[in-house]
Chain A
Amino acid sequence: MMKTRTILLAAAALAGLATTAARAEDATLTVWDWKSGDPVTAPYYEKVKADFEAAHPGVTVNYVMQPHDQYYTLLGTAIAASRGPDLVLVHGGSQAKERVGAFVKLDEAIADIRNDVVGWGEFADAAGAVYAVPLSIQGFMVYYNKDLYTKAGLDPEKAPATWAELEANCAAIKEKAGVACFALGNKEGFGADFFLSALAANGWTDAQQADWAAGTLHWSDAPVKAVVAEWLETWKTGWYSEGANSTLKFMDEYESFMRGENAHTIGLISDVAHWKQFDEFLGADKVGAFPMPAPTPAAEGPVRMPFAGGIGYAVTRFSPHQDLAIALAKSFAAPAAMQIFFESAGAIPASTKVDTSGLSSPSAKVVLALLGCCGASIAHNNMSTAEVEEWHRQSQLLFTGETTVDGAVTRLDEVQAAAKKK
């Protein structure tokens, strides 16, 4: 009897072990993103999948590309249901920070790559704990059309270094080239976000940026109010293309710039609306780049570019394969894969091990030079989503004349205070 029982117990234990082993081998990691189906980034995703599956026999990486404009709605549903992806791609800043409760803390797991990758701060909570592995660096540069500079009688190789120079260039472009100085799409409010961060990079001190992130620098405080006032002033001066409130930033604004209908645009340094895309349309020698100067610089020295961790992979708390998912998140930031991401998509990688020496684009060289010396925070990444949404609304109402700078900052102060209360 005893012998039979022992045999049965052993069989049960073996069956359990076999089941566990089978589960480990059969694991499928579901990855949500909005990029894996893009032909430009496809080689990078294929490389990560191939390398990871080869290193982890039996594991399948399943990419699920979601529509970008519905991404956070879908992600919210998955998080609420505690079901779905093991890994999710998220934007750095408020979109990541407001969801850290749903993600696995990664500090210990990423200790070995922490010094090889930059941009962690955009995926960290208030205490500094990290919740995603950054893939790319995001930043905001002003790109300009050198042909239109020539047409306006300006030196195409001399980018404006001060606000006064930019104002003078805009006046010349409007008068002599007959086009708007800046392409602008603010239908979704993104145009206002980019403008805010571009001006804050040089109009605010580092201490003010820190206060902004902490919610102690308010919209009605002088440095912030000055940016809001400048947003309205540049509109009144006629810097922008008509119909900004009904023009999409992605991609109507950029397509307009690439068609040569406007002289400047505030673009990105990641894998879209960036130097590579503009080079392909206008010709690399026809595109210039410079960081946006501020009307009143907060400090002396070179003009700074706002940049930070752009997008990164977080592991969901409800993932049944958390260890594997963390390993896959790190694989996305592996130098060999990142090199492909950089070369095929032109995205500035978060990994410092990627070789960027082969770049020949003049505007890309300006971007890389600034990365090494002159960075500032991305101000709109440090706003709550409620503040971001209200800034979108107020930025449009300033253009339609339905609010004033005072009215806008008062309303934004209220939203900021309410968000901080939570």
Chain B
Amino acid sequence: MGVAQGPLLTMHGISKRFGAVEALTDVDLEVHAHEVVALIGDNAAGKSTLAKIVAGALTPDSGLIEINGEAVTIPTPAAAYNLGIATVFQDFALCENLDVTANLFLGREMHGALRRSDEEMERITREVLDRLASRIPSARTPLGSLSAGQRQSVAIARTLIGSPRIVVLDEPTASLSVGQTAEVLTHIERLREMGLGIILISHNMTDVRAVSDRIEVLRLGRNNGSFVTQHASYEEIIAAITGAPRADALRHPTGATLSAVS
């Protein structure tokens, strides 16, 4: 594929209000193919709001969204899927009463004239689970009887259904063990190798630095700095997140996760 010329996803001047609260003000974001963009910021910085706008779960009050240079609107999650956007939401967004196959294909079921193509969906599910080398015993297991880590791998497996161009991961490692986190990061790298554009929302600086190419900082709903991961120092990033002058930021111990920074 080589390096893509234009950005895959461009968001320009995005604003979103909830009543009196300005969640996002004039936010810009660009994601290229073969790129992992980390979206970081303190609590209530607007990260999840931005992710939900990309995912079609929220519509912005103003602003322009372009995919491959074409202006688009993303009014619903189904529209996002059709535009090639796959999202893993913070709280997993899975149905515990349905089995693994049903969750993987939820909202995008394969079907004939009347009947769902259950056999075909289960076959693909097994392939995807094998690719993720997950330890989920059966594609027919109801989600309710899986562990948190197994559920997370189902949520992530959803990004392999269809052929998305852009993957949004909202806190994908929040509830995972060290080993599980490593596997999620490997999966993100795999997605990048496949030429996808990835937006990674995380509180965990170690994860962000391990896997991202670029770091975009949001603070109080506004852009507050953009860094090339390789060249950025913790101090610079933390300063951008907290809005503190750099001298202040130096007092924070390096390597702390950002959630520890108030």
Q: Do A and B bind each other?
A: no
B residues apposed to A, CB below 8 Å: none
Residues of A within 8 A of B (CB): none
